[in-house]
């Protein structure tokens, strides 16, 4: 891949696309991955709260209990395990990655 | 008119620097070119200080100190001595705050090739301002003796530089010295 | 053509002229820290804000480093930002000034140049500005309070130009300019703002269009961004020239990037800058009276260096003496400007006049007219074949 | 009925009310389990999109903004290491000036928030922060304290606790980790007469969120001292970040309190304190500590607790109660 030359780059090295690190995958960092067991989940939201990288996604779902469920953004989840440790009802399993 | 260089001698707190500035402000107001500057350094109340003014009809480019003044102005009588007159040009002018006679002043300065203009600026300042700040009084004498700047412009410049409540007293000091100066 | 612009002649020190220019440029944010000999300018700006003559935020920073930092922050929000400093203060700011240039923020500074410690010296020379030459700042040297006033206004014009977007410094001599009262024709703010309208073209922090300023440039990118700054500098030569011409058209005063005096038939020349360019001009007249065909080039824009202008001015000169006011210790020549003059001819040394390097007015050692007449005579001797010493000639130094 | 999510700058009663919108994107290169991001995520939610972030050099800066990428969805600026306070001062002054002149909308509130590390705050940025406080700039200054220079590889700072190993306080024949007591930044902030200062901790999100709201609403500078566990530098498993943070509170090592316009309040009382040993044993940086050193650290914590109890005028953080051995 060729990188842009000086004429094409923005003045002063500014980044004009806020939040564009979202295009970078950090999912490969994982050795273990969190797997949410929806049936066990009480919708307490603590995994969403404590995830440093915001990779637990709160999804509105009218058919789910309390109208929502939680998903993992595996594209970005680095596999730190905080959600797994903090889940008060053991609704998150800690599963080795297979690649 | 060609370049005229003036050196002011006083003690910190007497207003020599302000007098040099007022002179430049008045000259500039009158359409001339001028520079005014203090002796650059640390100023301390009571210590001898020097200030300088240059006046010309043409733009002034020179940026050196004044080594051979055309005029010296001495604000403090206790400073009188040959050192004060160093470099003063032949036929130059010394404007001095003193209660001594012109002859005595020439003798103290060690020069008989110069003109002196004397005025008791301390007395005038005490009577008008009630304080021994002599710079505006000596200005009146300087204006009369040098003929370099017009009194009106000097009075205007004084107004712009002195504290508002002392304006009248300062203007009075200038006018009185202008009248009382003795040139010899 | 001089248009009907209202001007008022005032008696101002260069410090006050610079503050006045900032006021007339309607600066939005000032962050200043007192340091001799620029302090009266910082005080005057405070006075303007205090009495309502200038509608700006005055940040009483706790250091020069913070002054520069606050200006970067302010400029990044879109404010016209200004400060004054000198000496240790400028050096303390220098880290942030490099960054301001890299971030392409058009802050403007007045610098009352002063010596650097040790030994401690509050007096004027250009040891402070000299090391800033590579920081990516536009640097003007000025020789009168009037030129300082005009140059601050021009500096905003150049710094804020979209082809440039770089910080700018107007450098004036500590004391021998900063504290000298002289006539200055000041321009109405309205007219100044016609010349430098408030228009933000640089990158700013705006919640409606969030951007990130001050990112990491890794080895894949850093080089290109540095080169962009170099291009901006190259553009600034032309922009500065245009700005000066437009200024002259509007206000009747222009300076050029260099100013030539009696260069038409000059066989030898002096290059001077700042206050001493004035004294050199008087010395040139005296030397001419003695039959020496000497001319003077006053360098006004130091960065970017007006190479073409200077080479052209020196075309017919056999020897040039560069009067420098700082000592680059341990370098082949001590002067900061002489090094630029020599390197102008790097690609074709055959075009170069012989170059004599002079150091003078170090720590405000006074320079007399006679000293510079002597330089002119010496240059004449060099032109006639006397060997030029292979080192900097120190004027006024006691052996 | 469950409480609804709130808008920016509104206090919450439960963590269920924290707004969903994320103002910092994933894909950044922070270490697994980095405490900074739990804090920053929620503080940005509390501040909302009308916020300018000033971020002096540090972990947070380098992991979020390597050109051509940025994780920040709010305007963000980095200038240098030691000038978060002064850059923010300039940003705030410019907003004020431009709003006054009508160049920026007069009625639109723009928050200015600094996120700085402990090096950039307690050491090299100390002077610029002090100036910002003293001049009363309306800025929320958040100290993300991971107790050492982590960005350059775990060197001690003025915030490194007694006993901690770092690469510049190594464990050797003569040195056994850090031997001095860290700076008390809360008291330093209070000494500047700031209207609001508080400690926060990512294990206590509601407390943290509400303190941010209070800080944003303060009429002058506000200071938030955030405890930010660093799995890499403190040597613990990344999954334990929140547990370590919580243990800091439960041992009285990190007391959650606030200074609100002259009034001190402990916001998370701990009536029975766990011994600091419980906190120490979770982290590799303390592994070398002797019983004597642990005792010394316990004394330091006891003293700190006593000091805070005095400030609030009652015993809100209780004595150490050893757990019964089973």
Taking Cα atoms as reference points, which of B99, B110, B121 lies closest to residue B179?
A: B121
> Judging by DSSP bridges, how do beta strands C29-31 and C81-85 pair with one another?
parallel
Measured in angstroms, the CA of D42 and the nearest CA of chain A are apart by: 8
Tell the CATH topology of A37-99: Alpha-Beta Plaits (3.30.70)
In chain C, domain spans: 7-251, 259-394
Q: Which residue has the tokens 């220019």?
A: C21
Neighbours of C253 (CB within 10 A): 16
Q: Which chain C residues contact residue A13 at CB under 8 A? A: 102, 214-215, 217, 221, 225
pLDDT of residue D1: 47
pLDDT in tens, chain C (399 residues): 455 788 999 999 999 999 999 999 999 999 999 999 999 999 999 999 999 999 999 999 999 999 999 999 999 999 999 999 999 999 999 999 999 999 999 999 999 999 999 999 999 999 999 999 999 999 999 999 999 999 999 999 999 999 999 999 999 999 999 999 999 999 999 999 999 999 999 999 999 999 999 999 999 999 999 999 999 999 999 999 999 999 999 999 999 999 999 999 999 999 999 999 999 999 999 999 999 999 999 999 999 999 999 999 999 999 999 999 999 999 999 999 999 999 999 999 999 999 999 999 999 999 999 999 999 999 999 999 999 999 999 999 999
A46: left (phi over 0), alpha (psi -120 to 50) or beta: alpha
**CATH pick for D15-312 out of 3.30.1490.150, 3.40.50.300, 3.40.50.970, 3.90.1640.10:** 3.40.50.970
Residue B21 is inside which H or E element, if any? Answer: helix B16-29
Helices and strands of chain A, counted as H and E runs: 2, 4
Residues 6 or more apart whose Cβ sits within 8 Å of residue D280: D163, D286, D289, D294, D297
Q: Which chain D residues contact residue C29 at CB under 8 A? A: 90, 93-94, 97
CATH code (residue B140) = 3.40.920.10
Q: What is the DSSP letter of C225?
A: H
Q: How many domains does chain B have?
A: 1
8 A C-beta contact, residue D308 and residue D255: yes
ipTM of the complex: 0.95
Measured in angstroms, the CA of D325 and the nearest CA of chain A are apart by: 24
pLDDT of residue C57: 98
pLDDT of residue C1: 47
User: Is B41 close to C123, i.e. CB distance below 8 A?
Assistant: yes
Measured in angstroms, the CA of B21 and the nearest CA of chain C are apart by: 7
Residue B153 is inside which H or E element, if any? Answer: helix B151-161
8 A C-beta contact, residue C296 and residue C284: yes
Q: Is the dihedral of CA D47, D51, D55, D60 positive or negative?
A: positive
Q: Please give the average per-residue pLDDT across D217-221, as a whole number.
A: 97
What does the pLDDT look like over C241-272, one tens digit per residue? 999 999 999 999 999 999 999 999 999 999 99
Provide CATH code, domain C7-251.
3.40.50.970
Taking Cα atoms as reference points, which of C61, C120, C73, C133 lies closest to residue C100?
A: C73
Residues 6 or more apart whose Cβ sits within 8 Å of residue B28: B34, C9, C10, C11, C182, C183
Structural tokens at position C99? 């960054």
Cis status, amide bond into B103, omega within 30 of 0: no
Cα separation of the two ends of chain D: 41
In chain D, domain spans: 15-312
- For residue A41, how far is the Cα from the chain centroid? 17
CA D28 – CA D9 distance, rounded (Å) = 26
Phi, psi of A93 (to 5 degrees): -100, 150
8 A C-beta contact, residue A79 and residue A87: no
Provide CATH code, domain C259-394.
3.40.50.920
- pLDDT at position D326 over 70: no
Asked if the domains C7-251 and C259-394 are classified in one and the same CATH topology, the answer is yes
Residues 6 or more apart whose Cβ sits within 8 Å of residue D248: D201, D227, D229, D254, D279
Q: Which residue has the tokens 């304080």?
A: B131
8 A C-beta contact, residue D305 and residue D252: yes
Q: Is the dihedral of CA B133, B135, B140, B146 positive or negative?
A: positive
pLDDT of residue D112: 98
| Alpha helix ranges (H) inside chain D | 35-47, 59-64, 84-100, 126-134, 185-191, 205-217, 231-234, 241-250, 276-280, 291-312
Measured in angstroms, the CA of B36 and the nearest CA of chain C are apart by: 5
Residues 6 or more apart whose Cβ sits within 8 Å of residue D191: none
Residue B109 is inside which H or E element, if any? Answer: helix B102-109
| Alpha helix ranges (H) inside chain C | 14-24, 39-50, 64-77, 87-102, 145-159, 189-195, 222-251, 275-289, 307-313, 336-344, 369-383
User: Is A18 close to C102, i.e. CB distance below 8 A?
Assistant: no
Neighbours of D161 (CB within 10 A): 22
Measured in angstroms, the CA of A14 and the nearest CA of chain D are apart by: 8
Nearest CA in chain D to A83: D239
CA D306 – CA D299 distance, rounded (Å) = 10
CA D160 – CA D158 distance, rounded (Å) = 6
8 A C-beta contact, residue B90 and residue B68: no
CA B90 – CA B73 distance, rounded (Å) = 15
3-state secondary structure of C7: strand
- The beta-strand segments (E) located in C95-211 are 108-113, 138-141, 168-173, 182-187
Taking Cα atoms as reference points, which of C105, C222, D21, C224 lies closest to residue A18?
A: D21
User: Is C228 close to A6, i.e. CB distance below 8 A?
Assistant: yes
Taking Cα atoms as reference points, which of B94, B107, B99, B97 lies closest to residue B184?
A: B94
CA A56 – CA D18 distance, rounded (Å) = 14
The size of the A-D interface in CB pairs under 8 A is: 109
Structural tokens at position C384? 């006639």
- For residue D32, how far is the Cα from the chain centroid? 19
Q: In angstroms, what is the C-alpha Rg of chain D? A: 19
pLDDT tier for residue A98 given thresholds of 50, 70 and 90: confident
3-state secondary structure of C111: strand
pLDDT of residue B43: 66
pLDDT of residue D3: 76
Nearest to A14 among C212, C227, C231 (CB): C212
User: Is D70 close to C212, i.e. CB distance below 8 A?
Assistant: yes
Q: Please give the average per-residue pLDDT across D104-128, as a whole number.
A: 96
Nearest to D69 among A20, A46, A80 (CB): A20
Q: CA-CA distances (angstroms) from residue A91 to A67, A83, D241?
A: 18, 10, 19
3-state secondary structure of B184: coil
User: Is D78 close to C78, i.e. CB distance below 8 A?
Assistant: no
The size of the B-C interface in CB pairs under 8 A is: 69
pLDDT of residue D323: 75
Neighbours of B166 (CB within 10 A): 17
pLDDT tier for residue D325 given thresholds of 50, 70 and 90: low
Nearest to C225 among A13, A15, A18 (CB): A13
- Which residues 112-141 in chain D show a CB within 8 A of chain C? 127-128, 130-131, 134-135
Neighbours of B104 (CB within 10 A): 14
Q: What is the DSSP letter of A31?
A: S
Measured in angstroms, the CA of D189 and the nearest CA of chain A are apart by: 28
Nearest CA in chain A to C163: A11
Answer whether D81 touches A (CB < 8 Å). no
- Residues lower than pLDDT 70 in chain B: 42-43
Residues 6 or more apart whose Cβ sits within 8 Å of residue B119: B95, B96, B97, B98, B137, B138, B140, B141, B177, B180, B181, B182
Q: Which chain B residues contact residue C368 at CB under 8 A? A: 64, 67
CA C297 – CA C338 distance, rounded (Å) = 13
User: Is C215 close to D130, i.e. CB distance below 8 A?
Assistant: no
3-state secondary structure of D263: strand
The b-or-e profile of C138-158 (16+ CB within 10 A means b, else e) is: bbbbbbbbbbbbbbbbbbbbb
CA D229 – CA D208 distance, rounded (Å) = 15
8 A C-beta contact, residue D25 and residue D63: no
């Amino acid at each position: 891949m060729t990188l842009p030359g000086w004429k094409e780059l923005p003045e002063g090295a500014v980044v004009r696309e806020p939040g564009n690190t979202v295009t970078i995958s950090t999912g490969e960092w994982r050795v273990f991955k969190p797997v949410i067991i929806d049936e066990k989940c009480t919708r307490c939201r603590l995994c969403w709260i404590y995830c440093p990288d915001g990779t637990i996604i709160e999804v509105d779902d009218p058919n789910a209990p309390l109208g929502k469920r939680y998903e993992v953004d595996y594209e970005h989840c680095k596999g730190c395990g905080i959600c797994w440790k903090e889940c008060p009802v053991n609704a998150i399993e800690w599963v080795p990655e297979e690649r | 008119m060609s370049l005229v260089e003036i050196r002011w001698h006083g003690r910190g707190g007497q207003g020599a620097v302000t007098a040099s500035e007022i002179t430049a402000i008045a000259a500039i107001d009158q359409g001339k070119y001028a520079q005014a500057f203090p002796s650059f350094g640390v100023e301390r109340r009571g210590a001898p200080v020097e200030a300088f003014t240059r006046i010309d009809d043409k733009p002034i480019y020179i940026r050196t100190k004044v080594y051979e003044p055309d005029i010296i102005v001495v604000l403090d009588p206790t400073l009188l001595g040959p050192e004060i007159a160093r470099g003063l040009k032949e036929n130059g002018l010394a404007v001095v705050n003193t209660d001594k006679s012109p002859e005595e002043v020439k003798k103290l300065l060690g020069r008989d090739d110069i003109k002196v203009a004397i005025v008791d600026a301390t007395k005038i300042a005490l009577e008008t301002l009630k304080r021994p700040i002599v710079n505006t009084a000596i200005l009146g004498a300087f204006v009369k003796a040098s003929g370099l700047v017009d009194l009106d412009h000097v009075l205007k410049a004084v107004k712009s530089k002195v504290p508002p409540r002392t304006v009248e007293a300062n203007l009075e000091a200038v006018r009185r010295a202008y009248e009382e100066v003795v040139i010899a | 053509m001089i248009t009907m612009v209202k001007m008022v002649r005032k008696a101002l020190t260069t410090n006050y002229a610079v503050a006045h220019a900032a006021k007339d440029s309607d600066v939005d944010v000032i962050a200043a820290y007192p340091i001799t000999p620029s302090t009266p300018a910082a005080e005057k700006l405070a006075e303007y804000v205090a009495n309502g003559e200038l509608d700006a935020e005055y940040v009483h920073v706790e250091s020069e480093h913070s002054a520069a930092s606050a200006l970067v922050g302010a400029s990044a929000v879109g404010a016209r930002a200004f400060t004054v400093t000198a000496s240790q203060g400028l050096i303390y700011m220098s880290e942030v000034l490099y960054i301001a240039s890299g971030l392409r923020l058009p802050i403007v500074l007045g610098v009352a140049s002063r010596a650097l410690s040790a030994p401690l010296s509050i007096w004027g020379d250009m040891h402070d500005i000299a090391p800033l030459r590579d920081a990516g700042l536009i640097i003007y040297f000025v020789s009168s309070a009037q030129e300082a006033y005009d140059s601050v206004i021009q500096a905003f014009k150049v710094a804020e130009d979209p082809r440039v977007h770089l910080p700018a410094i107007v450098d004036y001599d500590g004391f021998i300019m900063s504290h000298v009262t002289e006539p200055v024709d000041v321009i109405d703010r309205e007219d100044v703002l016609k010349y430098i309208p408030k228009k933000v073209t640089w990158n700013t922090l705006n919640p409606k269009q969030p951007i990130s300023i001050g990112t990491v440039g890794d080895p894949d990118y850093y080089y290109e961004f540095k080169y962009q700054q170099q291009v901006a500098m190259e553009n600034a030569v032309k922009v500065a020239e245009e700005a000066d011409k437009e200024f002259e058209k509007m206000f009747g005063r222009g300076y050029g990037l260099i100013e030539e005096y009696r260069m038409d038939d000059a066989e030898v020349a002096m290059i001077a800058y700042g206050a001493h360019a004035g004294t050199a001009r008087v010395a040139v007249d005296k030397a001419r009276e003695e039959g020496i065909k000497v001319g003077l080039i006053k360098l006004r824009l130091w960065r970017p260096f007006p190479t073409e202008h200077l080479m052209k001015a020196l075309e017919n000169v056999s020897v040039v003496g560069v009067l420098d006011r700082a000592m680059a210790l341990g370098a082949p020549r001590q002067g900061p400007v002489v090094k630029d003059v020599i390197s102008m001819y790097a690609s074709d040394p055959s075009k170069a006049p012989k170059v004599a390097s002079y150091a003078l007015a170090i720590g405000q050692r006074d320079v007399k007219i006679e000293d510079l007449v002597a330089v002119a005579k010496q240059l004449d001797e060099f032109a006639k074949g006397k060997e030029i010493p292979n080192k900097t000639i120190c004027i006024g130094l006691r052996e | 009925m469950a409480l609804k999510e709130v808008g920016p700058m509104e206090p919450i009663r439960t963590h269920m009310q924290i707004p969903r919108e994320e103002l910092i994107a994933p894909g950044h290169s922070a270490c697994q389990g980095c405490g900074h991001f739990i804090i920053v995520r929620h503080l940005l939610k509390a501040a909302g999109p009308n916020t300018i972030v000033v971020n002096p050099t540090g972990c947070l800066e380098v992991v979020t903004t390597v050109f051509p990428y940025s994780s920040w969805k709010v305007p963000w600026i980095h200038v240098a290491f030691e000038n978060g306070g002064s850059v923010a001062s300039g940003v705030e002054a410019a907003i004020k000036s431009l709003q006054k002149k009508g160049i920026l909308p007069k009625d639109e509130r723009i928050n200015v928030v600094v996120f700085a590390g402990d090096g950039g705050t307690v050491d090299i940025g100390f002077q610029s922060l002090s100036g910002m406080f003293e001049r009363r700039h309306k800025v929320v200054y958040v100290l993300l304290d991971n107790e050492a220079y982590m960005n350059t590889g775990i060197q001690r700072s003025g915030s490194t606790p007694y006993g901690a190993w770092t690469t510049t306080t190594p464990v050797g024949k003569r040195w056994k980790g850090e031997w001095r007591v860290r700076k008390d930044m809360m008291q330093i902030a209070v000494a500047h007469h700031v209207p609001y200062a508080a400690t926060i901790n990512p294990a206590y999100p509601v407390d943290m969120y509400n303190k941010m709201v209070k800080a944003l609403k303060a009429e002058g500078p506000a200071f938030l001292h955030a405890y930010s566990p660093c799995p890499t530098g403190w040597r613990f498993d990344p999954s334990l970040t929140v547990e370590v943070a919580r243990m800091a509170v439960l041992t009285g090592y990190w007391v959650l309190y606030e200074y609100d316009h002259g009034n001190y309040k402990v916001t998370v009382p701990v009536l029975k304190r766990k011994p600091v040993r419980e906190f120490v044993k979770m982290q590799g940086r303390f592994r070398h500590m002797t019983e004597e050193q642990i005792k010394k650290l316990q004394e330091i914590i006891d003293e700190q607790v006593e000091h805070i109890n005095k400030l609030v005028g009652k015993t809100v953080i209780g004595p150490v109660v050893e757990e019964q051995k089973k």
